Amino acid sequence: MSKAVKNIIILGGGSAGWLTAAVIAAEHGEGLNITLVESPNVPIIGVGEGTWPSMRDTLRKIGVSEQAFITECDASFKQGSKFIGWKDGSASDFYYHPFSLPHGYHDVNSVPFLQSQASSMSFADAVCGQSQVCEQGLAPKQVTTPEYAAVVNYGYHFDAAKFSCFLQKHCTEKLSVTHVLDHVTTVNAASDGSIESLSTQQHGALNADLFIDCSGTHSVLLAQHFNEPFISRQSVLFNDRALAVHVPYADSQQAIASATLSTAQRAGWIWDIGLPSRRGVGYVYSSAHSTEAQAEEDLRLYLTASMGKAKASAAQLRPLKIQPGHRASFWKKNCVAVGMSAGFIEPLEASALALVELSASMIRDDMPATENLMAATAKRFNERFQYRWDRIIDFLKLHYVLSQRSGSDYWHDHRDASSIPEHLQELLNRWRYQSPSRLDFIQADEVFPAASYQYVLYGMGFKTQPRETARRSENAVLAKRFFDENAANTQRLLGGLPSNRELLARIRQGV
């Protein structure tokens, strides 16, 4: 009989470690012994986090209150992303990638009929009310809407350091996760090459059947112990540096943005995330196209608009290095990497925590009962996540490929065919004659649905010339009905939803 998998060690805390611990422990309860080991003096990167709507279901499943999460993690609602200046950099250049599907998405392809109309309305506004909800700074639900329920789809922005502390408390007090604060000195191998134990300074050797590497960019287990190769994707996505800063509001009642603001710059883009107590702002850029001094100049100029020149000049910027890429495989022997130990690209479209959620949930659902099932589980996991990394890279690259910005080598180089993945080139050729559909993405749980590609493509002004069969009169009637229904629904949303700040204040007050 093969040995049962009963003991799990997670190396590393932060959002990745504690979220993984919570997801697994909430499902397996007393069936597994879960220990999280972290160094007492390794700082959390913690520049602020954005999530997908999947986080609502994750938090619900691990058993936390949304009211407690919002209050303790300085959280706000995220309803998508607003891209400013990405198309051509003109004064009116912006579009939304909202979290809600286009109205009638499963019934008709509305793109041929929308593009045939000489309308000044954006694609997102025509098919979804959420872009207008975001533009007005409104919340995704009402005061009376139950926890985790939505009027329009939403995720969150939150303080990453506070989120880690929140999860740590929940895991140790409610989910029986053992927390060990100690330095790992040695990774000890078993006779078959798997990991047998971790030697620590104060707690001796800690044995487990499965080891989950959440040690961040150090990747202590997968990279340092197993020497798993790193696959750089910098030839596709160039950004390898960032400058981050916390920005106070001008006053305590200033509006909280309903989406992540992503503003294009000469060598990258600036994120702007609104929390109840402050904003998290940062410039992610390519060191091959900008010096740090130039990046600092660009970021301080952006900050001047909301802070004034004196405060923007005095703001303390935190430099960060990014290695865009991922490991060749993510599960080796009895070790699986989650979070930045597996890889990181850039914060565009907030895929980092979504990958943690997806990884943790697959480990939870596919937990090998015995050690002899480990290899098959690892193979399945690696195949799934190789696919997911490739699709994320395709989707992020799409934002740059479609840009018409000029006057910068950065944007020109992004459009160079040699930097565009072959799979994305094939899709772009297809989409010139047929809109993105579910036929383009083969997995049951794609990281980005066809609707997301539609929002980016047509938000950036891409043109599809469909076959005449796509313009059938019955489809035209149906498309017009959905356009009209969406327009009416948009007005109801704008008249019935409170502001972000109003709803967040009511939630924090427990009303």
- DSSP per position, 14-34: HHHHHHHHHHHHHHHGGGSEE
Q: Is pLDDT at 319 greater than 90 in this prediction?
A: yes
Higher-pLDDT residue of 472 and 241 is 241
Whether the per-residue pLDDT at 399 is higher than 60: the answer is yes
The confidence score (pLDDT) of residue 132 equals: 98
- 85: Cα within 13 Å, side-chain hemisphere: 16
Residue 79 phi, psi dihedral angles, 5° rounding = -115, 10
Looking at residue 396, its pLDDT comes to 98
CATH no. of 7-48+159-232+324-390: 3.50.50.60
Report the pLDDT value the prediction gives residue 443, as an integer from 0 to 100. 79
Q: Which residue has the tokens 């313009």?
A: 471
What value does the CA radius of gyration of the chain take, rounded to a whole number of Å?
23
Q: Tell me the average pLDDT across 186-214.
A: 98
- How many residues are listed for the chain in this entry? 511
If pLDDT is split at 50, 70 and 90, which confidence band does 376 have?
Answer: very high
Q: What is the pLDDT of residue 2?
A: 86
* Weakest-pLDDT range from 44-58, 224-238, 289-303: 44-58
Instruction: Report the share of the chain in percent with pLDDT over 70.
Output: 97
| 42-46, 263-267, 373-377, 448-452: least confident range | 42-46
pLDDT at 1 over 90: no
pLDDT at 123 over 70: yes
Contact by Cβ (8 Å): 78, 96:
no
Average pLDDT on 166-175 reads 98
Round to whole Å and give the CA distance between 23 and 361.
7
pLDDT tens track for 428-444: 999 999 999 888 887 77
Tell me if 346 sits within 8 A of 239, measured CB to CB.
yes
3-class DSSP state for residue 84? strand
Phi, psi of 37 (to 5 degrees): -110, 125
How many CB atoms within 10 Å of residue 2?
Answer: 11
Segment 78-87, tens digit of pLDDT: 999 999 999 9
Rounded to whole angstroms, how far apart are CA atoms 12 and 342?
Answer: 13
pLDDT at 46 over 90: no
C-alpha span between 160 and 49 (Å, rounded): 6
For residue 476, the model assigns a pLDDT of 86
Quick one: pLDDT at residue 471?
72
The three-class DSSP label of residue 152 is coil
Nearest to 234 by CA among 136, 147, 319, 344: 344
Torsional sign, CA 36, 37, 41, 47: negative
The per-residue pLDDT of the chain, averaged, comes to: 95
